[in-house]
Amino acid sequence: MSDRQFGPQTQLLRKELLESMAYLFSGDINPILLETLRFYFPWLSFALLINWLPEQGEDIYWVLIDSQRVAVVEIPRETNVDVKNVLIEVVPVSEYQKRTSTAVKRRKFKAALDLMREKERE
């Protein structure tokens, strides 16, 4: 789909999502996040970071792994974290949508879901 079909705000969201995916797969966002995703989803080549919450003891990431599922990954802030100590939960897209409270997060999620569906149609 051409970006011209989307308004400027959606185009910007799509661009940011794709840029964050590049950082995700380079390991620049968090190398343990990438290692965890590769461990649990070795087939993953397209994933979109839709939310990140830095907590005092851990970082929580929400990653759209396909058009049906979101991986919620909790990575402790300590050094030398083993992927087996990382908490991971896979939730249906419908459940994530119910938890999405702000209009900004809903727009970002919709843009991510559109990108994922486009990728799956290729």
Domain ranges of the chain: 3-121
The pLDDT assigned to 4 comes to 52
pLDDT at 1: 47
- Secondary structure tally for the chain: helices H, strands E: 4, 4
> What stretch of H or E contains 122?
none
**Euclidean distance between CA atoms 4 and 93, whole angstroms:** 26
Q: In the chain, what percentage of residues exceed pLDDT 70?
A: 95
Indicate the pLDDT class of residue 77, thresholds 50, 70 and 90. Answer: confident
pLDDT of residue 85: 86
The pLDDT value recorded for residue 2 is 46
pLDDT tens digits, one per residue of 110-120: 999 999 999 99
Query: What burial letters (b/e) apply to 93-106, b meaning 16+ CB within 10 Å?
Result: beebeeebeeeebe
pTM of the full structure: 0.90
Residue 18 CA to residue 25 CA, distance in Å, equals 11
Average pLDDT over residues 46-68: 95
DSSP 78-118: SSS--GGGSEEEEEEHHHHHHH--SHHHHHHHHHHHHHHHH
